[in-house]
Amino acid sequence: MRKFTLIMALAGSLLLGAFSSFAQDLSTNQVKYQITFDQATQSYTVWVIPMYNTPNANNPSTDEMGSTAQVTLKIPKDFVMKNLTSIHGSWRKPLTILGNPATHPKFANYTYDKNFYYCSVGKEPGESSYGKFTANTPVALFSFQTTGCTGPVEILDKSDPFIAAAYKAYSLNVECSFYSRSGQSSGGNGLPTEQFLQMLGPGAQCQEAPKKIDLVLTTSLDNKLPEVGDNVKITVVVKNNGPDNATGVQVKDALPSGLEIAGSSSTQGSYANGIWTIGSLAVGESVVLTLTTKVVATGIQYYVAEVSKADQEDINSTPDNGIPDEDDYGQTCAGAPILLCAGQAVELSIASTYTNVQWFKDGTSISGANSTTLKVTSTGTYTFTATNAGCSTGACCPIIVVEGNCCPAEICVPVTIKRVRTAAKR
Ligand SMILES: [Ca+2]
Ligand SMILES: [Ca+2]
């Protein structure tokens, strides 16, 4: 039978806590301790697992009534406990971390696992309810968090050599313990019997919460109504709204055939072959890509850019999924006027997947113009609305039809020029 001292001063000033602990015989009503980690809340929970039910011969109550108890944890060396929360019983944060010979030199004289430190969480000795005990059903005692995630946190097993080392070095009892009504034979006046049997299961392995980012991409251009031959400057801005820093960020863009690239520059990373490799973006940081393009065709030219890669999970968008409504997707357009000669017609065409289409001429809806194509025989400004169009207002870029410099009407053969508008990439 091992005899341990109640409360011992450590190095003159440190107290380990007010647990009452004589080493006693083991009660027939035993418990185990277990520790688990929940990634969603980044919290550890320590549980007691009874090997018996309440009520029982020692305890006629439905509930188990606990007195003192101690849970000693075997911890990573940089372990810092925070937010200790009692769940059943009132538990005290460890007063000190043990096992470091640099701060407690006598530990150097003893053999134990020096890759870890140790700390004890003690329950206030007053009797309190744990609720009903059912054999093999865990009851949560307390939870806590740590300032980092550097390794497993274990319950100190009964066989751990640190128990003997702490006692020999500083007369400290660090052994896990548990005392309750069910552990003590009723009517007797003998010493309380210990109920802690052993730890259950492996230690709790923490996992960092996954990093989260919010990349937002916007596009704009400086001239929505250029002539063929004009330069159009396209600007793409990517910002990380956090909450974590982003790495491995890449943007993919698509230049329409009616715009020719004439030059590019960016505040970070490099741009080549439609890929802007950005790299890291701190929280709140923005980067800018500027493309200089030359208009080489009439009609609407759609430019589309989207975040195509990032190492972290974006909270509200997915890279490279092509959904225009997401905030990592940007589209903008420019349109050189379409030339129309007298006696000719132009067929305007939008993506065949658009529904509930309505065409407008000079801001007025055209009766019956609800198809994804529109035959135009007069000059004007044409727009459309559609339920599922990327530019749902239809105001993204008007299609402007102007009178062309044509051959005399009398010698021209009437012909329909089919111009298929380059719709936004879906
Ligand atoms: Ca986003
Ligand atoms: Ca996306």
Ligand nearest to the CA of 307: 2
For 302, the 3-state DSSP assignment is strand
What's the pLDDT tens digit per position in 127-174? 999 999 999 999 999 999 999 888 999 999 999 999 999 999 999 999
Ligand nearest to the CA of 316: 1
Distance 306 CA to ligand 2 centre (A): 6
Arithmetic mean of pLDDT, 112-134 = 95
Q: Are the CB atoms for 371 and 357 separated by under 8 Å?
A: yes
Distance 278 CA to ligand 2 centre (A): 16
Distance 259 CA to ligand 1 centre (A): 28
Distance 316 CA to ligand 1 centre (A): 5
Q: Residue 281's closest CA among 207, 209, 217? A: 217
How would CATH label the architecture of 337-426?
Sandwich (2.60)
**What is the model's pLDDT at position 188?**
58
What's the pLDDT tens digit per position in 339-393? 888 778 888 887 787 888 899 999 899 999 999 899 999 988 888 888 766 553 3
**What is the model's pLDDT at position 18?**
36
Ligand nearest to the CA of 313: 1
- Please give the torsion angle defined by the CA atoms of residues 311, 313, 319 and 324, in that order, rounded to the nearest 10 degrees: -150
Query: For the chain, what is the mean pLDDT?
Result: 86
Q: Are the CB atoms for 266 and 253 separated by under 8 Å?
A: no
What's the pLDDT tens digit per position in 46-73? 999 999 999 999 999 999 999 999 999 9
Ligand nearest to the CA of 318: 2
What's the pLDDT tens digit per position in 238-262? 999 999 999 999 999 999 889 999 9
Please give the model's pTM, rounded to 2 decimal places.
0.60
Ligand nearest to the CA of 216: 1
Look at residue 414 and tell me whether its pLDDT is greater than 50: no
**Residues surrounding ion ligand 2 at CB below 5 Å:** 317-318, 321, 326, 328
For 168, the 3-state DSSP assignment is helix
- Class of domain 210-334 (CATH, top level): mainly beta
Beta-strand relationship, 63-75 and 154-155 = antiparallel
From residue 381, alpha-carbon distances to 90, 344, 350 in Å are: 76, 17, 15
**What is the model's pLDDT at position 176?**
96
The span from the CA of 82 to the CA of 205, in Å, is 17
Distance 254 CA to ligand 1 centre (A): 20
Lowest-confidence pick of 110-119, 166-175, 198-207, 264-273: 198-207
Distance 254 CA to ligand 2 centre (A): 14
Q: Residue 130's closest CA among 58, 187, 50? A: 50
Distance 236 CA to ligand 2 centre (A): 15
Ligand nearest to the CA of 218: 1
Q: Residue 219's closest CA among 286, 306, 298, 103? A: 306
pLDDT band at 325 (very low <50, low <70, confident <90, very high): confident
The span from the CA of 53 to the CA of 324, in Å, is 60
- Please give the torsion angle defined by the CA atoms of residues 106, 110, 115 and 117, in that order, rounded to the nearest 10 degrees: -50
The span from the CA of 344 to the CA of 85, in Å, is 80
Q: Residue 268's closest CA among 252, 283, 288, 249? A: 288
Ligand nearest to the CA of 308: 2
**What is the model's pLDDT at position 24?**
63
* Vertex 310 angle, CA 422 and 236, to 5°: 45
Distance 147 CA to ligand 1 centre (A): 28
The span from the CA of 384 to the CA of 399, in Å, is 9
Distance 301 CA to ligand 2 centre (A): 21
The span from the CA of 312 to the CA of 208, in Å, is 13
Token pair, residue 335, equals 């349109």
